[in-house]
Amino acid sequence: MDVIERIDQQVKGHPAVIYMKGTPQMPQCGFSMRASQALGDTGVPFAYVNVLQDPEIFENLPRYADWPTFPQIYIDGELVGGCDITLELAASGELKTMMESAALKQEQTAS
């Protein structure tokens, strides 16, 4: 499978996914740590991809949505942005609402 197809499946197969350096339990950069923490603080489960363990995704993800940096957060199949945008959404309460809505939508689609 082509790497862009693989990314597309990951993005569309989860209500929320973060492409980050490291894991939520062991982040390898401050931006990834803060963004994954903001996602975790919503209480809504999310998927993650450690781009340091997948060089193909690390090299090609910036082409997928034309976003050059990591982390990259996708909710409901759409790029939300990186760390700063995610923290702003968390501070306003929008992040939790977006994630709950995406999780509910996927639940209804699966039923």
Task: Please enumerate, by residue number, every residue annotated as part of a binding site for [2Fe-2S] cluster.
Answer: 29
The pair of three-digit structure tokens given for residue 29, joined into one six-digit string:
């950069």
Determine the Cα–Cα distance for residues 39 and 93; give it in Å rounded to an integer: 11
Backbone angles phi, psi at 4, to 5 degrees: -65, -35
Return the number of other C-beta atoms located less than 10 Å from residue 110's C-beta. Answer: 6
Please state the residue numbers annotated as binding site. Answer: 29
